[in-house]
Chains A and B, each alone.
Chain A
Amino acid sequence: MAAVEQLQSDAARDTKVRSRDVNVYYGEIHALKHVDLDIYANEVTSLIGPSGCGKSTYLRCLNRMNDVIDGCRVTGEIALDGDDIYDKSLDVVQLRARVGMVFQKPNPFPKSLFDNIAYGPRIHGLGTHKDELDEIVQSSLERAGLWNEVKDRLDKPGTGLSGGQQQRLCIARAIAVNPEVILMDEPCSALDPIATAKIEELIDELRTNFTIVIVTHSMQQAARVSQRTAFFHLGILVEVNETEQIFTNPSDERTQGYITGRFG
């Protein structure tokens, strides 16, 4: 209930995604219970919690990636800019163009770097001419901080890059369609510290244009990159607050226990 109080005090901020009473069931398993969470525009919100706590499940609700899982059922209300994303009339393809996603393991398509970035704009009809696509590819790679490293080998396969570069390629691919929200599911868990630092820097830069939700297992990372942090435990949203507040003065003792390493 602390979460709701917090939400009211933040009324001044611009709410991008509004979730009310979100429940997710995998068959008989009640994976996510009554989550009320607001995500504010142009901020990084990190979701933390022990494994299996439902943070990834919640993240995947935001662009309906749970739809493809058999037996998965979502109830409650999630609204993006006030539009219910689980509305029957809403087209999931268009939703995913507005809410992009970066996955835990870098997963570039086994195509050229150019085609990797151009894929989204192509299927969404954002760029039809070669020069339009060229421009989108260049600007996306620039924004992902990858342009200088790869500009001479855009025709080489994306899978030939290093892990960190691949992940930045995936971020570039996600921002190529100019989404409003970018979801990141543990984007650095497969990367070394240097690559992680680059991605974190990138996330901070992207915040000016996008709303970012990031799931992370690293509390230091949450503290470094996010403005707000939500702590999940056993499918319940335990606490959500300013990141500083969560890490210095959590109001719930479960949060306290988790961030001090007593469980998780």
Chain B
Amino acid sequence: MTEAVADAAPAIRRPDLSEARLSRRYAAERRFRLWGQLAILAAVAMLGLLVFSIAVKAIPAFTQSYIALDIVFDGDKIDPAGTRERNTLRRADYDGLIKDALKAQFPDVSDRRERRALYGMISSGGGLQLADMVLEDNTVIGSSQRVWLTASDDIDSFIKGLIPRDVPEDERRVKDIEIGWVDTLEASGAVETRFNTPFFTSGDSREPELAGIWGAAVGSFFTLLVTLLISFPIGVLSAAYLEEFAPKNKLTDLIEVNINNLAAVPSIVFGLLGLAVFLNFFGLPRSAPLVGGMVLALMTLPTIIIASRAALKAVPPSIREAALGMGASKVQVLTHHVLPLAMPGILTGTIIGMAQALGETAPLLMIGMVAFIVDIPGGITDPATVLPVQIYIWADSPERAFVAKTSAAILVLLAFLVLMNALAVVMRKRFERRW
């Protein structure tokens, strides 16, 4: 026995080699750390590049150019009968007033085509702006006022310097004559670039200069609200039942496998399901956050169930034993001890599921939430669209100015995602307890 040990020992312990082995081990450790750092660097660089390129593209969308015109609120044109009735006021030809003002500003423009170009400098939303002014305070009728009107998308791009002057005229969206007008207006201080508040407060529009993100944001909010209200209670209850109460048999195994499978089903399939069941069978309203939320809830459920089960499983058995030993019933053990301890994990899973739902487009395409909707939804049954779908719609639009809007909308969506993830971290920290 002792001989064997004596023989074996030199083979294992080789002091002469241990130096080399040690440096090899250190080198391997350094190498591994370096690879890890490189991997993280690559990931961060890619993310940074993505966000940077989007942010640079989005910058123009956050400002908007305005042109000041001296509008004559001619009582004969707005309200010839003088009744000041709202309907009459609303229907008056305000575009005509703008045209008159432009004509007065540039009296020597006579050619029909040139005149159309001149009128095209002001956004088609200008008339509505004047109508709002008059409806708000009809004493402006009869007066002459300097009004800042939204510039149309091409003129706006030119004012912001996105359309260079030095390219040949026929390759340029803004012609020489228009440049001349803009220069004249600028010289007289009638051109201004301001922060684009309407972008954050208005709904979608065919005109890029009028299009805003608020409608889609509200749509996303209602949709996620429905998703949360459906998927959180169902998800947590299923997880709690499966984890704490369900007998372990073939049936529960089958359910478990299917929940895991469900998490991997492509989201568009849920959209088709929503179309077939919620819209065609139950006849729920099309394009509504209600149905969108229900479809997204189906998609989010597996995520919440799996995360909640993992969180429940992570609660130490000693806590359950302690509570059971005190004579708590199974439900009391769950509600007094296990659920509160699992809550951070459950909430994190839920918010990750919600963030996933916020970014989801495919299933919503199937149930008609891809529609062009101008009005800001006021409830869960109003037609609405959501942020990612809005991005998709704008990215698909031919107008150049939508490029910046698309990027800006992506930034808004990313901001929401970051906000939600930050919320997850905060919740986690708040509810976390040590034992």
Residues of A within 8 A of B (CB): 63, 65, 68, 70, 93-97, 100-103, 105, 107-110, 119-120, 123-124, 157, 159, 170, 173-174, 177
Contacts and interface: CB of A to CB of B under 8 A. Distances in A.
B328 A159 contact: no
A123 B337 CA distance: 13
Interface in B311-364: 316, 318-329, 332, 336-337, 341
A120 B332 CA distance: 11
A97 B319 contact: no
B323 A109 contact: yes
A105 B325 contact: no
B434 interface: yes
B326 A120 contact: yes
A170 B322 contact: yes
Contacts of B327: 93-97, 120, 123-124, 177
Contacts of B329: 93
A94 B337 CA distance: 19
B435 A159 contact: yes
Contacts of B341: 110
B323 A103 contact: no
A103 B318 contact: yes
Query: Which 9 residue pairs spanning A and B have beta carbons closest together?
Result: A96-B327, A101-B325, A107-B318, A110-B433, A97-B327, A107-B322, A110-B435, A120-B326, A159-B435
Contacts of A70: 248
B340 to A, nearest CB: 8
Contacts of A177: 326-327
B326 A103 contact: no
A168 B17 CA distance: 54
Contacts of A108: 322, 435
Contact of B325 (A94, A110, A159, A174): A174
Interface residues of B, number: 21
B325 A109 contact: no
15 contacts: A68-B324, A93-B329, A95-B327, A97-B327, A100-B326, A102-B325, A103-B321, A107-B318, A107-B319, A107-B321, A107-B322, A109-B323, A109-B337, A170-B322, A177-B326
B248 A123 contact: no
A41 to B, nearest CB: 21
Contacts of B337: 109
A119 B329 CA distance: 13
Interface of B: 248, 316, 318-329, 332, 336-337, 341, 433-435
With most chain B CB atoms within 10 A of its CB, the pick from A97, A102, A110 is A110
A123 B332 contact: yes
B324 A96 contact: yes
A103 B328 CA distance: 16
Contact of B336 (A93, A95, A119, A173): A119
Nearest to A96: B327
A65 B332 CA distance: 16
A65 B326 contact: no
B103 to A, nearest CB: 77
A177 B327 CA distance: 9
Nearest to B328: A123
Contacts of A124: 327
Nearest to B341: A110
A98 to B, nearest CB: 9
B274 to A, nearest CB: 39
Contacts of B336: 119, 123
B94 to A, nearest CB: 67
A97 B327 CA distance: 5
B318 A173 contact: no
A65 B434 contact: no
Given A93-B329, A159-B434, A65 B322 contact: no
B324 A103 contact: no
A65 B330 CA distance: 12
A174 B326 contact: yes
A176 to B, nearest CB: 9
Contacts of B318: 103, 105, 107
Contacts of B433: 110, 157
A6 B324 CA distance: 34
A206 B297 CA distance: 55
B386 to A, nearest CB: 39
B208 to A, nearest CB: 55
Contacts of B320: 68
B435 A103 contact: no
Contacts of B324: 65, 68, 96
Contacts of B323: 109, 119
A168 to B, nearest CB: 14
Nearest to A159: B435
Contacts of A63: 325
